[in-house]
Amino acid sequence: MGNAKRPGEFELIRRYFAPLAAATPAALGLGDDAAILTPRPGQELVVTTDALVASVHFLPDDPPDQIARKMLRENLSDLAAKGAAPIGYLMSCAFDHTVDEAWIVAFCAGLAADQAEFGVGLLGGDTVGTPGPLTLTVTALGEVPAGRAMRRNAAKADDLVFVSGTLGDSALGLKRLRGGLLALSSEEGAFLIDRYRLPQPRLRLGRALMESGLAKAALDVSDGLIADLGHIGEQSDLAAEVERTRLPLSPAGAHALDEDPALIEDIVAGGEDYELLFTASAAAQAAIAALAERLGLRVTPIGRMMPSSGQPGAVRLLDEKGREIALKRRGWQHF
């Protein structure tokens, strides 16, 4: 796998990856076979992993610093959904021939920026060559007080369904990047593309929901609203209803939907929103609104959980007259 355009593995580690681990004693300077973590008393460890493949999960010509940050943030979003505080991450990189030293410099700069922003460090990893597409895998670790992690399976019938931020921006941003949504202004397009490239893991919200006990079930919207609410339903043996008019949209998202009502599919099933989706009792609604205001983050009730009636995981999207909107797909297809 010789590649004259970049240094060998050990030089790469010394020059670019070891500085990302310098502030993290558990990483042993990346000079060892493994990281060694000392869990804090009373804390449980939350561990999650995600793989990203060029042309499947990001565009090969996406800026490398944004690929790095998106990769890290997707995993931080999983920790946010559990109410966990992030500790660090291991990263496995299969570099293809397109990855040269300049790419790695930019990639590591993106990691460094987000490490500072989210208070995490590189714990370890592996770097290999691949004849195929660039493939990146992150395993993120976080901690949560024992027994307090939020789960998917804790929703109850009549819970309200809440979502943070706005939905659909990422899927619409990808459409714009691919040359679509021409009715939008360049500012609107840039906003959506930024939302596609740079998810905002809702760590503070997740932490506050865990600490307050306000949320019952929670997850982050990665596959798409309908599919992910379906996951809560499947795990909790419930069905759910969502009202289209309540879905929180950005101004750019609302403009796009005005121009083309068929984009509702992208908004509810496009995926990669990385917003928190959670259920809570109706009695908690005022406290959740106060929490959202304190965090300066939009949190919107969009529907409710219902008995499964033999169809656990069923999710109906209703129009303003309460009629079901037919959807061709529920979410991102992994294969």
Q: How far is the CB of 40 from a copy of itself (least distance, A)?
A: 9
What separation in angstroms does the CA of 324 have from each of 117, 118, 317? 42, 40, 6
Distance CA 190, CA 192 (A): 5
Specify the stretch interacting with a copy of itself by CB under 8 A; choose among 131-139, 172-180, 187-195, 294-302: 131-139
Give the nearer residue to a copy of itself in terms of CB position, either 6 or 70. Answer: 6
Position 287 contacts a copy of itself (CB under 8 A): no
Position 208 contacts a copy of itself (CB under 8 A): no
Residues 97 to 126: which contact a copy of itself by CB under 8 A? 123-126
Distance CA 211, CA 137 (A): 30
Residues 214 to 243: which contact a copy of itself by CB under 8 A? 219-220, 231, 234-235
Task: Name residues whose C-beta falls within 8 Å of residue 50's C-beta, 6 or more positions apart in sequence.
Answer: 71, 74, 75, 78, 137, 138
Position 207 contacts a copy of itself (CB under 8 A): no
Position 200 contacts a copy of itself (CB under 8 A): no
Q: How far is the CB of 180 from a copy of itself (least distance, A)?
A: 21
Q: What is the DSSP letter of 158?
A: T
Give the nearer residue to a copy of itself in terms of CB position, either 172 or 219. Answer: 219
Closest CA to 170 of 72, 269, 261: 269
Give the nearer residue to a copy of itself in terms of CB position, either 44 or 243. Answer: 44
Task: Give the x/- contact pattern for a copy of itself in 53-82, rule: CB under 8 A.
Answer: x-xxx--------------------xx-xx
Give the nearer residue to a copy of itself in terms of CB position, either 322 or 335. Answer: 335
Three-state DSSP at 165 gives coil
Q: How many CA atoms lie within 13 A of 287 on its CB side?
A: 12
Distance CA 221, CA 227 (A): 9
Distance CA 278, CA 289 (A): 13
Residues 15 to 54: which contact a copy of itself by CB under 8 A? 28, 31-39, 41, 44-53
Phi, psi of 27 (to 5 degrees): -75, -10
Give the nearer residue to a copy of itself in terms of CB position, either 185 or 311. Answer: 311
Distance CA 218, CA 223 (A): 14
Q: Which amino acid is at 299?
A: V
Position 308 contacts a copy of itself (CB under 8 A): no
**Residues touching a copy of itself: how many (CB under 8 A)?**
71
Q: How far is the CB of 153 from a copy of itself (least distance, A)?
A: 7
Q: How far is the CB of 95 from a copy of itself (least distance, A)?
A: 8
Tokens of 49: 């992993």
Q: How far is the CB of 189 from a copy of itself (least distance, A)?
A: 27
